[in-house]
Structure 1
Amino acid sequence: MALLLLHSQSSCSLLVVLWLVLVQTHMGWSAIIMSLKNHHSHQHHRRQPMFQTNQSTCALFAGTWVRDDSYPFYQSSDCPLIDAEFNCQMYGRPDTDYLKYRWRPLNCELPRFNGIEFLLKMRGKTVMFVGDSLGRNQWESLICMVSASARGALTQMIRGDPLSTFKFLDYGVSLSFYRAPYLVDIDVAQGKRILRLDDISGNGNSWLNADVLSFNTGHWWTHKGSLQGWDYMETGGQYYQDMDRVAALEKGLSTWANWVDANVDRTRTRVFFLSISPTHYNPSEWNAGATTTTTKNCYGETAPMSGVSMYPVGAYPEQMRVVDTIIRDMQSPAYLLDITMLSELRKDGHPSIYSGDLSPEQRSNPARSADCSHWCLPGLPDTWNQLFYAALFF
């Protein structure tokens, strides 16, 4: 399915100007500029164009959410591998309108995802997602999307830690998830977990044979207390009980970027990086800066943000800056799947209390227990994969 694009540069420019005027009340100029800047800055790195015409004719990650009753791509009941923490319909979410939104980029239409085409084009290849539970969110979404098109195909699931793989045996296609929340290595020494900011070889050796690699990290770098995943950080031969978390992320991502440049054969392996997935724990982000609201977090939210004067800043602006800087400085930059801004608008897409990971007591207290970090499946990660599909094949 071809993308619908304008074919003359002059008409494209006029439409872009008109679009910017129309959406000024719905999107901040900074968000539009960031998305356009990101889109253009990577076009000289891609081995094949994302679009069939001039890439500058579409700002893929700036746009609007529109209702589309042909969505979702699949039903949760038809995809039993969805983890309990993402399976909102199974665990009692009463509304379904959040499933009926499609992302419309600036001045083009995304190709509709086709699972059979995906399998045919990826025949004999491996796609590997590497990172934290947001990467697992996207991995499970992709399996469900492909499976919905390939009903009856012979499949195999191999679950493990850190590596799990779902295989479409008739096509020789493997979709894998490798759990590495920080990307860099964690070792255990004398009963203590050591986060090695300068070392990634222990994890990286498992990624070398993939044909497509999609990385993500971010949320775990901010965790403290019982959620913290390490006891000490080590860099340059020195051990630290703590350090500036943004500085630590920058060191870890620099190690990752250097490893990719030195070890991944870019003539055979496509490399993607999923930008920071936003959370929605602070309602003031979507209530025009209000300090008092009727809700405490994403609980009860059933529709995307609308009528906002600009994109909310969210909780991770410094992490976004680090990711962008590190990728731009790579010898052969990864493709940044820049989902942050479009996902910011989807305050309605989180599991909230409709998660199998919560006890009945926790569900009764959404102000404290709602999950506003992960995403329901079906749901927003399906759009991430539709963008991933477009970037891979168009």
Structure 2
Amino acid sequence: MSSSKSNIIIIQLTISLNLMILSSSYMLVHHLNKNNHNHNHHSRPILQANNSQCSLFMGSWVHDDSYPVYESSACPVIDPDFNCQMYGRPDSDYLKYRWQPANCELPRFNGLVFLEKMKGKTIMFVGDSLGRNQFESLICLTWSSVPRVNTQVIRSYPLSTFKFLDYDVTIAYYKAQYLVDIDSVSGRRVLKLEDISENARFWTGADVLMFNTGHWWSHTGVTQGWDVMESGGSLYQDMDRMVAMQTAVRTWGRWVDRNIDTSKTRVFFQSFSPTHYNPEEWSGGGATPSKNCYGEKSPVSASVFSGVFPNEMKVVDTVLKEMKTPVYVLDITTLSEMRKDAHPSIYSGDTSTGQKSNPHDTPDCTHWCLPGLPDTWNQLFYTVLFY
């Protein structure tokens, strides 16, 4: 065969291979987007922003009888809201799932290694109660490895701390559901979209900061955490919530850029933690016997998962791209969307809403049981910190 003919064949094969790759990519994007009918979401980017060779946040849930890592009765800090086993959840299979990334293995969380590597340091979670969910999970995971060490617990508002005294390691949680400040002015709660100084003074000196916000921006009525918003020197009874959130997150971003020394402090942002109140989001177009997460006992199959990207994360992504300080996004949204089975539902210490008498009307499909899904968030956190 002549050299020219060989070259033509090679070029044809190369073109065919590229067309196959493009076709496969199109089919993947089409699969993720074809069932997305929620006007409050836009399509999730296929490529992770962190550009890791290992796609930590894409994969599947695998049943694993070696889980959970700890028992709820053996951890001293689980709030009643998250303690599903204590409050009567009859099933336990939801505890026995391990996250399997698509192209790598996660190291198992080792509390002793965590304490040795973090000796003399402070890890602080800042945000809403989903941050508290993760804060308590990290304590439980670590405590299970060293249950006899000396500890100190300080529960207060807005700052709670848990110290492993023998290692001089502090795990802290600061409640700031909007990140920015809320001041009381003439009896009204003023959400100050461009002021973060009061909250941020508590964060100074932390070695690792994990931020989150999102859920409270959509609260209205009695669950709304403010009376008026302040922006640009003016007060507003209300405004587009995503515009307000973006203003607040930009305020946070400016604080990070001006105050964080990346040689001393690592900054993370926890992506939006999904809820499971609408079964159409996980039914794949089939029957929807439940009205919410109540009674759900297994993860969503990846084959019916539609893949959505919350507007709250679009806001965060926009601000992160404007910042000069590198912030690592712990992208737990997709893997958590698969876990419709992992919420407290009616099995929490909250008796005020009559959950058990109205399981289809008042379950908690926002927070997560402990042990449970937040342990995987922390396994991913542990992996990113040390590997």
TM superposition shift of 1:85: 0.3
Per-residue CA deviations over 1:326-381 (Å, capped at 9, x if unaligned) read: 11221013100000011000000000000001258331101111000000000000
Verify: 1:72 aligned to 2:65, yes or no: no
- Could you tell me whether the CA contact under 8 Å between 2:135 and 2:173 is conserved in 1? yes
For residues 150 and 352 of structure 1, what CA distance do their matches in structure 2 show?
31
Find the counterpart in structure 2 of residue 356 from structure 1: 349
The correspondence of residues 170-189 of structure 1 with structure 2, limited to 5 A, is 170-189=166-185
Listed one character per residue, the Cα deviations across residues 232-259 of structure 1 (whole Å, up to 9, x for unaligned) are 0000001000000000010000000110
CA contact 1:114–1:149 (8 Å) conserved in 2: yes
Q: Which amino acid is 2:384 matched to?
A: A
Q: Assess if the C-alpha contact under 8 Å between 2:62 and 2:100 holds in 1.
A: yes
Matching residue's letter, 1:77:
S
- Given candidates 325, 330, 334, the residue that maps to 2:323 is 330
CA distance in 2, matches of 1:149, 1:59: 28
Q: 2 CA distance for matches of 1:24 and 1:98? A: 28
- Please report how far the alpha carbon of residue 310 of structure 1 lies from its aligned counterpart in structure 2 after TM superposition: 3.7
Q: What is the rounded CA distance, in whole Å, between the counterparts of 2:103 and 2:188 in structure 1?
A: 52
* Shift in CA distance, 379/35, structure 1 to aligned 2, threshold 3 Å: farther
In structure 1, the residue corresponding to 2:62 is in which secondary structure? strand
The amino acid that maps onto 1:264 is I
Pick one of 24, 29, 32 that aligns with 1:28: 32
Residue type of the partner of 2:314? R
Q: CA deviation at 1:35?
A: 5.1
Give the aligned partner of residue 13 of structure 1.
Answer: none
2:336 pairs with 1:343? yes
Aligned partner of 1:149 among 145, 150, 153: 145
Q: 2:361 aligns with which of 357, 362, 368?
A: 368
Distance in 1, Cα, partners of 2:384 & 2:351:
36
Looking at structure 2, the residues matched to 360 and 159 of structure 1 have their Cα atoms a distance apart, in angstroms, of 25
Deviations 1:267-287 (A, max 9, x none): 100000000000000011111
Residue aligning to 2:18: none
Contact 2:355 2:362 in 1 (8 A): yes
Q: Deviations for 1:81-115, whole angstroms, at most 9, x for unmatched residues?
A: 10000000000001110011111112000111000
8 Å contact kept, 2:332–2:377: yes
| Greater Cα radius of gyration, structure 1 or 2 | 2
Identity among equivalent positions (%) equals 61
Change (3 A) 1:86 1:27: farther
Note if contact 2:271-2:333 (Cα within 8 Å) is conserved in structure 1.
yes
- Coordinate RMSD, CA, aligned: 2.2
Give the structure-1-normalised TM-score.
Answer: 0.87
- 1:222 is aligned, of 185, 199, 218, to 218
Give the distance between the partners of 2:112 and 2:190, measured in 1 at CA. 43
Q: 1:363 to 1:25 in 2, by over 3 A?
A: farther
CA 1:201–1:104: 2 relative to 1, 3 Å:
same
Shift of 1:26: 12
The one-letter code sitting in structure 2 at the alignment partner of 1:202 is E
Q: CA 1:25–1:104 in 2, change beyond 3 Å: closer, same or farther?
A: farther
* SS of corresponding position for 1:160: coil
Q: Equivalents in 2 of 1:39, 1:272: separation in Å?
A: 11
Counterpart contact for 2:284–2:306, Cα < 8 Å: no
Contact 2:137 2:371 in 1 (8 A): yes
Q: Is the 8 A contact 1:298 1:347 kept in 2?
A: yes
- Is 1:379–2:379 an aligned residue pair? no
Q: Give the paired residue count.
A: 357
| Match in the other structure for 2:306 | 311
Q: Is residue 26–residue 309 contact of structure 1 (8 Å, CA) maintained in 2? A: no
2 CA distance for matches of 1:317 and 1:140? Answer: 25
Q: 1:25 to 1:194 in 2, by over 3 A?
A: closer
**Residue 153 of structure 2: SS of its match in structure 1?**
strand
CA displacement at 1:293 relative to structure 2: 2.6
Cα distance between partner residues in 1 of 2:350 and 2:304: 35
CA distance in 2 between partners of 1:234 and 1:299 (Å) = 39
**What TM-score comes out, normalization by structure 2 length?**
0.88
Structure 1: tracts of 5 or more residues without a match: 1-16, 41-54
Structure 2: how far apart are the matches of 1:220 and 1:302?
Answer: 27
3-state SS of the aligned residue for 2:210?
A: strand
Mark the runs of 5 or more structure 2 residues left unpaired by the alignment: 1-20, 35-41
